[in-house]
Amino acid sequence: MEPKRLTGPGAGSMKYDVLTALSVSGLHGTAAHQVSMTRLCALITARYNWKLDQFCVGQPEMARMWHVTERTVKREVKRWVDDRLLICARKGVRGRVGAYRLNLLRVFEISRDVWTAVGTDYAERMEGMQPLQTSSVVKVDFSKGVQEVAHFNDGTTWSAVSERLRRLYPDKHRNWFAPLRFVSDEGGRYTLAARSSFIVRYLETHFSAVVTESVQAEVGLGRRVVFIADS
């Protein structure tokens, strides 16, 4: 399950809490981590579009903001993407500025140990913001008996999408994403087949947004992901 977007009533204080998590996490880290989180907090504060849940800022603009070279900007953004703090929503190619989304799940993960350093009230708020760790759905390992396919290239664009999902969500990839089968990419519909209608419903409820994001990042914008059950 994904965390809710920080828009609507009460969103202002939640944004401050996220910035606090990043800044305090940086202060409890190495000198390099402190600088990195300061840069990220400045970028989010100044340029993050919370309605679209992304920022779209050119490297020259970031370089001016941070008072560094564009090479440093490129290296910093790559570090955040590799660490899953940022998810690339659109690649920057042929003069087009890339778009990136803040991965709140990763923010919770890297900052959890310092929540109590801010205060017990803050820790309680952060616990309330993140997705529930428990679920009424029975956890089933659907990958039993299935050959590992994380690095398998089936000759379609799904190979790149699946690999992206594996890097971003390694704990979910094996059960939910790796077993999917590419069907078609036509008329703005990117169709994937799952092994049962139950899995289709679960994917639609919990993972439609993350799969769509990866499809648009690796294949192109304007596509809607459709899950169907294998007949």
Number of independent structural domains in the chain: 2
Listed residues 113, 129, 145: the one ending a domain:
129
Residue 20 in any domain: the answer is yes
Confidence (pTM): 0.62
Long-range contacts of 2-5 (CB under 8 A, 24+ apart): 2/104, 2/105, 2/131, 2/206, 2/209, 2/210, 3/104, 3/105, 3/108, 3/129, 3/130, 3/131, 4/129, 5/50, 5/53
What pLDDT, in 10s, does the model give residues 123-167?
988 887 765 443 444 455 544 444 444 445 667 899 999 998 888
Based on the fold, state whether residues 91 and 41 are members of the same structural domain.
yes
Q: Which residues are paired to 182 by β-bridges?
A: 192
Residue 190: beta bridge partners?
A: 185, 225
Select, from the ranges 152-156, 199-203, 217-221, the one with the highest average predicted confidence (pLDDT): 199-203
- 182 with 125, same domain: the answer is no
Q: Are 218 and 161 in contact (CB under 8 A)?
A: yes
The reply to whether 195 falls in a domain is yes
Same domain, 41 and 88: yes
AA identity, residue 67 = H
Range of the domain at 18: 11-129
Same structural domain, 26 and 66: yes
| Same-domain status, 123 and 176 | no
70, part of any domain: yes
Same domain assignment for residues 163 and 122 = no
Q: Is the pLDDT of residue 80 over 80?
A: yes
CATH of the domain at 214: 3.30.300.180
What's the pLDDT band for 231 if we cut at 50, 70, 90? low
